[in-house]
Chain A
Amino acid sequence: MSEQKVSRLGPWVERPFPPLLPEIVPFWEGLRRHEFRLVKCRRCGACYYPYTVCVRHADIPDFDEMEWAPTSGRGTVFAHLTVHKVVDPAFQPDLPYVLALIELDEGPLFATRIVDCDPQDVRIGRRAAVKYHDVPGQDRTLPFFVLQD
């Protein structure tokens, strides 16, 4: 393997994060356990992100028919951007950094950052997997992604 480039993270990572919507809390609880959870339909197994009531049935399923379940945390790059300029100086050490939509193997798109890479190497269609980042001193794990060979 070639030399691994490790992303720098600015002081933003130590700031308190804004409150979460109650419906997304189980996703972030899963990350703490290094589980990548999606909302899954108990009837048919279809996966969703963000929280969505399954659309594959003629009736509207009950909310409790949707459950957060561990998934692969893998997918392919669907779209990507390289950020060169920020309005928040706390992100200055991160520049340039990559934002991406990952088409998860279970179907949904997930917006995230691809870390530990040369932005030039990010291409649509490349495989990527979640990389959990436990924020020091905080009860929070961030769902970054990394490219896979």
Chain B
Amino acid sequence: MSTREFRDKFAIVGVGMTPTARTHARGMSAMRLEAWAAKLAIEDAGLAREDIDGVVHAMMASPHPPLQWTDTYSRMLGLRPNFYLTVARGGQAAHNGLLLATHYLRLGLAKYVIVSCGLPGWSASHAPEGPVGMLGTGGWRGQLGFGIGPLGFNAAAGGGSSHGFYVSRHMHEYGTTAEDLAEVALSAREWANLNPEARFHDRKLTREDYLASDYVIEPLRKMDCCIESDLGAAIVVTTADRARSGPKPPVYLKGLGFGDQARKQWWDKSNYTQVDGAFAAKQAFAEAGENIWSIDVAELYDCFTMEIIFYLEDYGYCKKGEAGEFLRSGATRPGGSFPINTHGGLLSGMYLFDFPNVVEATRQLRGEAGDRQVPNAHLALTNGHGGEMVEPFMCSSHATMILGNELS
């Protein structure tokens, strides 16, 4: 992406998210959740259904027929899109969807594109003990066929038995501790306590609670794993010119970047102590013409606590091994200088890949975030992390985006 090809050319004009975790929209299919969110986003944008002429449906990393159906929800809602395409790679599917949507807009093939997703993750997992996120999705990974999954990887968790190896290596190489991981969980929970839509809005979390919480896949405790939600989310994006005629202030797309650890071989040792965030962030910040310290609020993909440590280090907010200290400063918590995951994150808020991050960033930049509003938020950082989990590897793909409410 060359400079100024992208910055301020497109904007988010509508977001929608179904009522989240505490009210669980249980008993609904993925398409119904997605349709509901899309309705909310279209209304939020002040549009009618016939204004939407492009649909990008986001889904899991690999085909997941029982939970997500394609080419379906828009018919349920009576949309009449000129195109309906699917993007995948789970945890960064919203960012991938926005990349595709903006390209359609640039080519003049659509005026308003909706990027959406629905997943009855909570219902699918039936987790009786609460916040043991990513566990319910354990079955799907084994379908990739190298044959090792059934030995105990799939039974352990969808994500924990891959991502956990990274925690093991980071602890070994940089001395990261459970206390460092606790800081991430505590920060997310403090924000969740301010967000009535967050799953754990009503539940405080202390360091003692964290350390007493059971190991799921040691060194990952229950409190290190994101939750499952039955959730739908949708984002309406259009060109910047059109955006200015809408009822809500436009949230401009300023920079978008992508990285993938597949650029290195499977066994490249550095793969296990970082994500490809440095590469993706460099592209996004260059296009936005901003530096990392100009960000007012960050909504980052915390599928596990360790991911936040990776992002802080790999984006350059601190050196490798120093994220624990950065977190202990309180910077990421309410009132801090670098607020992260003001919705409560995937850890304490709600789970739907990277969609909640983009929705929350939009609300922060519009000043709609209520008790958790970050004062004078003009620039937001979002990210997503996705891909397939094939031993010996975890999700390899990374996306970074910068949003802003002012033209540069």
Contacts and interface: CB of A to CB of B under 8 A. Distances in A.
A, B: real partners? yes
Interface of A: 12, 15, 17-21, 24, 27-28, 49-50, 52, 55, 78-88, 90-91, 94, 96-97, 99, 101, 103, 107-113, 119, 124, 142-144
A112 B228 CA distance: 27
A143 B156 CA distance: 18
B366 interface: no
Contacts of A94: 152
Contact of B217 (A84, A107, A111): A84
Interface residues of B, number: 44
Contacts of B157: 87
Contact of B155 (A24, A87, A96, A143): A87
A133 to B, nearest CB: 9
A113 B150 CA distance: 11
B interface, by DSSP: helix, strand, loop or mixed?
A: mixed
Contacts of B164: 81, 99
Give the 8 A-B CB pairs with smallest separation, nearest first. Answer: A111-B391, A88-B155, A21-B145, A79-B168, A82-B218, A79-B165, A91-B155, A109-B392
20 contacts: A18-B143, A19-B145, A50-B146, A78-B169, A79-B165, A79-B169, A79-B272, A80-B165, A81-B161, A81-B168, A83-B156, A84-B218, A87-B155, A91-B156, A101-B165, A101-B391, A108-B266, A110-B392, A113-B151, A124-B168
A18 B150 CA distance: 8
Nearest to B147: A20
Contacts of B145: 18-21, 24
A17 B145 CA distance: 10
Nearest to B138: A87
A85 B156 CA distance: 7
A interface, by DSSP: helix, strand, loop or mixed?
A: mixed
Contacts of A84: 214-218
Contacts of A27: 147
B232 interface: no
Most chain A CB within 10 A, of B152, B166, B265, B390, is at B152
Given A24-B145, A90-B155, A101-B392, 9 more contacts: A12-B150, A18-B142, A20-B146, A82-B218, A83-B217, A84-B218, A99-B156, A112-B148, A113-B151
A85 B217 contact: yes
Nearest to B219: A81
